[in-house]
Amino acid sequence: MLRRLPYASAPLVALLSICANSPQRAHAAATQVGVEYFGPGSVLVTFDTQPNGASIPNGTLLGSLYSQWGLTFGPTNWASDWAGIPTSLPNTATSGGPPGGPIDCYFPDGVFAVGAYGFDFVLRVFDKNGTLLGNIGHTDGTIGIYGGSQELGFLGIASADPICHAQFGLYYDQQTAFGFEIDDLRIVPGGVTPVQQETWGHLKTLYRSGATTQDK
Ligand SMILES: [Ca+2]
């Protein structure tokens, strides 16, 4: 079982490989971003509480639970209190579909950025036409959950073209025995354009320098 890790030890060693594994070309406007990017005006989905503040029981299908925040989930995605990653407790999001996911997030109105914590996972984002905008991954380098503090990672993508679908999936097809989950999903909604975020440039600088919120 993956050990719970101090939040401050979380690495940001996500491997940028935008569209490297796809026959489609990634849109040039899609950029990998760190958790620092999601500042004022962004949305945080903990999977622990609903928008009205009510707690979410283990096993609850996520479906349209957060629809008032502009997102819905795939039909097999649910909240699980088997929390293997050291994020907000008690719940993470996981999938009851094919082993290991995926976890699908749909944004009917489009969003400008999306990201979440996980381990050995990938993030792909698509526009309203299903065109791939970006494809990134994070792994400690090995299948399984024995990488200690190297396991936890944050994957985020910002795109000037609105993102209508974000899909989180396995980094390794063979890792299904170790479970699959994401937590603390962050979104920059369509009403908040990147240029309206006061910290946009500052956060990009922070991310590129390797600094994190824990470093401040
Ligand atoms: Ca949580």
Q: Is the pLDDT of residue 51 over 90?
A: yes
pLDDT at 173: 83
* Start-to-end CA span in the chain (Å): 31
What whole-number distance in Å separates Cα of residue 176 and Cα of residue 106? Answer: 24
pLDDT digits (tens, 9 = 90+) for 77-132: 999 998 678 899 999 999 976 666 799 999 999 999 999 999 999 999 999 999 99
Report the CATH number at residue 75.
2.60.120
Whole-number Å distance, alpha carbon 54 to ligand 1 midpoint, is 13
Burial (Cβ within 10 Å: 0-12, 13-18, ≥19) of residue 138: buried
Whole-number Å distance, alpha carbon 88 to ligand 1 midpoint, is 4
Which domain range does residue 198 map to?
7-211
The answer to whether residues 168 and 122 touch, using CB atoms and an 8 Å cutoff, is yes
Q: Is the pLDDT of residue 22 over 90?
A: no
- Domain membership flag for residue 1: no
Q: Which two tokens stand for residue 129?
A: 């036409």
- Domain membership flag for residue 2: no
CB-based neighbours (< 5 A) of ligand 1, an ion: 46-48, 88, 91, 183
- Domain membership flag for residue 31: yes
